Structure 1
Amino acid sequence: MNRDWRVLVIDDDFRVAGIHADVVRGTAGFTVLDSVRTIAEARDVIARDAPDLLLADVYLPDGDGIELVRAADVDAFVLSAADEPATVRRALHAGTLAYLVKPFSQRVLAERLDRYARFRRVVSGTRRLGQEKVDQALSIMHGSEEPASPSASATEQLMLDALGDGVLSASEVARLAGVSRATAQRRLAAMAGRGILEVRLRYGTSGRPEHLYARGNASGR
């Protein structure tokens, strides 16, 4: 799925909001829909423009960002200095996909956004999701590079499904399967070593040849 996820930033500190917006703009696959200071402004943008993801502070001038997340029916991260256990639990009960305690590094937010993009690639579309796909999506979003419950062979099956009858690079398989590039490279190499896949080379105009992976009966390209 090639699209940009549209993000609404909600923070009453314009400097902090600007930093968050810059991270969003600098992360592949994301665009900033708007940046607002209040819940009222956020509701207007949500109703008008239907963002894909909210980045919401807890303490806002006209109310509680967690209650906004609860009512909005939009994917959300909560970004707040509030670190009380009750507040974190309340945010999780409200449905937030990530809770980042301020101050945090820009790298941490960028990493969560990358996880969100991979998570959405797994759970988007109209096809039914089996348990392996559900576990894969949750593992991507919540920090494990490998799905928590399926076996390694199940992880490899997801990648074989993504590969199909094509001849693809590790990066292409990673994008289609919703896993990290490192995971894809490791699993593809392991399957090639066991003879499940064959490795081909694609030569560009310069640099090292790119490794491509295919099932034994896939046609070249």
Structure 2
Amino acid sequence: MIRVLVVDDDYHVAHAHALSVARIPGFTTVGEAHTGAEALELVASTAPDLLLLDMYLPDFSGLELVRQVAVSGERVPDFLLVTAARDIDSVRTAMQLGAFYYLVKPFTFVALREQLEGYRTWVERIDRSPEADQHVVDALYSLRGAPPRRAATTRSLQPTMARVLEIVAAAPAPIGAAEVAEILGASRPTAQRYLAGLVTKQLLDLDLTYGSTGRPEHRYVPRRA
């Protein structure tokens, strides 16, 4: 379960965000903070995995909060900016400090859900990767850098095909139809049909590897941006 601390100066907005987080599988809210000082205390006491972070706080900015956590010696949570700040300097600084994404207010629940689901896939990929070879690094950066495009595309997919795409994206290495079928709970031909469809849609790449018999094995990876 991914633990989220919501940080927003508006009590009603913070509570609405917390309710939205609770609707998304795999996430739970560990608290709501309305000032930078309160957020610092809750980061220390609740150890969240992710901050849903507003830029404008009454005592100091959301980005200053990230800096203060870093120098305090506490573990720095990942953070996703949800803010009305539209100036490019804020966006650039957020990227430099490692923001997973920058979501400009106002936004819909669907937009927030897409970003959190993208983050969840990114975390799952990290947890399942014992070491970072170049393939894993490329996949992690792809997941971190392009969740909006991927999420917008998956909205047009039927549910089973979208689930197959999610399985491949979360795999720590190129994955075959038999493995996808096992996770999906379907037959291998069914999984193969969906995988082939995702290759046709240019959402997956086919990675041919040769086994001991010399015959190529079809394995799949997310399409690189």
TM-score, normalization by structure 1 = 0.68
Partner of 1:33: 30
Contact 2:177–2:195 at 8 Å: present in 1 too? no
Partner of 1:113: 116
1:156-195 alignment runs, 5 A limit: 158-160=173-175, 168-170=182-184, 186=198
Q: Secondary structure at the match of 1:76?
A: strand
Unaligned runs of 5+ in 1: 146-153, 173-181, 198-221
Closer/same/farther in 2, CA of residues 129 and 59 from structure 1, 3 Å limit: same
Read off the aligned partner of 1:117 and give its amino acid letter.
R
Percent identity over paired residues: 35
Q: Secondary structure at the match of 2:52?
A: strand
Contact 2:129–2:172 at 8 Å: present in 1 too? no
| Superposed CA offset, 1:53-110 (max 9, x none) | 0011111011111111234321001111010011111111121111011101111111
Alignment: residue pair count: 175
Measure, in 2, the Cα distance between the counterparts of 1:67 and 1:81.
16
Contact 1:170–1:184 at 8 Å: present in 2 too? no
Q: Secondary structure at the match of 2:182?
A: strand
Closer/same/farther in 2, CA of residues 126 and 186 from structure 1, 3 Å limit: closer
Establish whether residue 45 from structure 1 lines up as the match of residue 42 from structure 2.
yes
TM-score, normalization by structure 2 = 0.66
Closer/same/farther in 2, CA of residues 89 and 127 from structure 1, 3 Å limit: same
Measure, in 2, the Cα distance between the counterparts of 1:171 and 1:96.
35
Contact 2:7–2:54 at 8 Å: present in 1 too? yes
Aligned-pair distance for 1:162?
10
Contact 2:125–2:172 at 8 Å: present in 1 too? no
Measure, in 2, the Cα distance between the counterparts of 1:142 and 1:126.
18
More helix by share: 2
Measure, in 2, the Cα distance between the counterparts of 1:186 and 1:121.
21
Q: How big is the alpha-carbon RMSD for the aligned residues of Structure 1 and Structure 2? A: 3.5
Measure, in 1, the Cα distance between the counterparts of 2:82 and 2:48.
17
Closer/same/farther in 2, CA of residues 58 and 167 from structure 1, 3 Å limit: closer
Partner of 1:103: 106
Measure, in 2, the Cα distance between the counterparts of 1:64 and 1:36.
13
Aligned mate of 1:85, from 85, 88, 109: 88
Measure, in 2, the Cα distance between the counterparts of 1:64 and 1:54.
13
Contact 1:55–1:79 at 8 Å: present in 2 too? yes
Contact 2:9–2:57 at 8 Å: present in 1 too? yes
Unaligned runs of 5+ in 2: 70-75, 151-167, 187-193, 208-214, 219-225
Establish whether residue 22 from structure 1 lines up as the match of residue 24 from structure 2.
no
Closer/same/farther in 2, CA of residues 88 and 157 from structure 1, 3 Å limit: closer
Q: Secondary structure at the match of 2:82?
A: strand
